Amino acid sequence: MLYRRGEIWWFRIKFARTEVRQSAKTRSKELARRVERQRLRELEEGFHRLPRRQAPLTLVAAAEQWVQGRSLVWSPKTARIEKTSVEHLRPILGHRLLTDITPENISDYQRIRLAEGASPKTINLEVGTVRAVLRRHRLWANLQPDVRMLTTTDDHGKALGAVEEQALLKACAESRSLALLPAVVVALNTGMRHGEVLNLQWRDVDLAARRVLVRHSKTQAGTGRVIPLNDHSLTVLEFLNGRFHDQQPDHYLFASERYGVSGDSALAHSYAADPTKPIKSLKEAWERAKRVSGVKCRFHDLRRTAATRMLEGGSPLLVVASILGWSPSTAARMAKRYCHIGNVAQMNAVEMLMVDCEVEATDARGHKEWHSDNAPSLSEHRKLLKLSGSSGWTRTSNPPVNSRMLCH
C-alpha cells in the first residue's frame, strides 16, 4: 500500500504477521510502486531462504573484493603481497568471468609467468590467490583435481659462519646508518625477526632483568614471548639507551633517520632522528653492507644462524622454540627448515652412541673378547664377523634370526 508523507512516497507491507513501513525515497508514484514490489520480493526470498541471484564477476573484481574483506585480519605485509598478486593476475586472467576459468587457463598463466622470469614460488602465491577467490565463490572444487602447483626448491637460506659474521659486522660498522649494526647484533643474539627488531620500544626492554618482550610478532606463538639478553645484545641496548636525553617508554629503539650531505665532504650522514617513529627499512644499508663484505645472505638468515648455534650448542629443541616463537606443532618442521646441524654436532651425536661395554664375538678358532676402549681394527672386525657359513650371515642362539634381520 502506497501513501504520501509530504512530497515523498512511502509504502506499507504486511508479511508473515509483520508490518513493514518504509520510505521509497522518491516523489514518483510509479517508481515507489516498483520499490514496493522489489521489497516484497526480497522479504519472500528471505523467508523461504532462496539464494539471491548475483551478477557474474570477473576475476580481478572478485579478487579486489576478497582482498578488501580480508585486509582487516591480515598483516600489512600479507595485504601488500596479495595486492601485488592481483596486479599480476590482472592483464592475463583478470578479464575472465569466475565461471569461465578453466584448469587450462591456469596452466597457460603459469607458462606465461615463467617466461616473464617469475620464480615458481611467486607463481604459486598468485595461483593461491586465484584458488582463494574461487573457493570463496564455491567454484574451486571442480578445478582442483586438474590444477598443479609448480615445484619449488627447498632452499631457505643458510647459517652464517664465524668468518662471514665478522666480515658482515665490519661492513655494518662502516655503514652510514646508525641503526644497522645494532639491529644486526640484536638479531644475531636473540633470533628475532626483522620486523620484531625494528618495532621494539623501550617499554619492551628490561635492562636490569636482562630480557626483552616481543609485543608484536608475525605468528600468534611468537607474540608476547620474553627473550633473555646475553652480553652482546645487552651491551648494544645499553648503548642505544643513552642516545636520546628525553627518552620515553613509547619511543622506538631504532628511530627513523634522514640522511644528507653537509660541508665539503661528499659522504652522507644521518640526521633528524625521530624516536617516536620506527625506522621503515634497512634494505639499502643492508644491501650495501652485503656487497662490501662479500657475504650473500638474507636478514632472516641471522635468525637461522641463531637457531642453528643454539641447537648445535646442545640447547633443547623446546627451549629454542620458546625463544624463537615456534608453536609446538611447527617446532620439528622449523628445526629441519632453519637448523642444519653441522658436522661437528653430528660427530658428537654419534660419539654419544659409544659406551664402555664388553662384547663377545665368535670366530672359527673359538671365543675372543674385546672392549670398546680397545676396539679392533677393520681387518679384525672382518675376522670376528666371518664364520664358516655363507658370508653376511651370523649364527645366533635363535636359528630363525640372522644378522640381516638384526640390522634391519
Assigned C-alpha cell, 228: 633473555
What is the per-residue pLDDT across 50-77, written as a single tens digit (0 to 9) for each? Answer: 776 667 789 999 999 999 999 888 888 8
Per-residue model confidence (pLDDT) at position 209: 94
Cell match 663377545: residue? 360
- Judge residue 189's burial from the number of C-beta atoms within 10 Å of its C-beta, 0-12 exposed, 13-18 middle, 19 or more buried: buried
Q: Tell whether pTM > 0.75.
A: no
Q: Are 139 and 98 in contact (CB under 8 A)?
A: yes
Per-residue model confidence (pLDDT) at position 388: 40
Q: Are 169 and 184 in contact (CB under 8 A)?
A: yes
- Main-chain dihedrals φ then ψ at residue 211, nearest 5 degrees: -155, 160
Per-residue model confidence (pLDDT) at position 83: 94
C-alpha–C-alpha distance, residues 75 and 98, integer Å: 27
Per-residue model confidence (pLDDT) at position 352: 74
Per-residue model confidence (pLDDT) at position 275: 87
- Main-chain dihedrals φ then ψ at residue 59, nearest 5 degrees: -60, -45
C-alpha–C-alpha distance, residues 152 and 179, integer Å: 35
Per-residue model confidence (pLDDT) at position 344: 60
Distances from the Cα of 18 to the Cα of 12, 15, 22, angstroms: 10, 5, 13
C-alpha–C-alpha distance, residues 298 and 301, integer Å: 5
Q: Please identify every stretch of the chain with a pLDDT value under 50, giving residue numbers as ranges.
A: 357-364, 367-372, 381, 384-385, 387-397, 399, 401-408
Per-residue model confidence (pLDDT) at position 403: 43
Per-residue model confidence (pLDDT) at position 267: 64
Q: Which long-range contacts (CB under 8 A, 24 or more apart) does 53-56 make?
A: 56/97, 56/98, 56/99
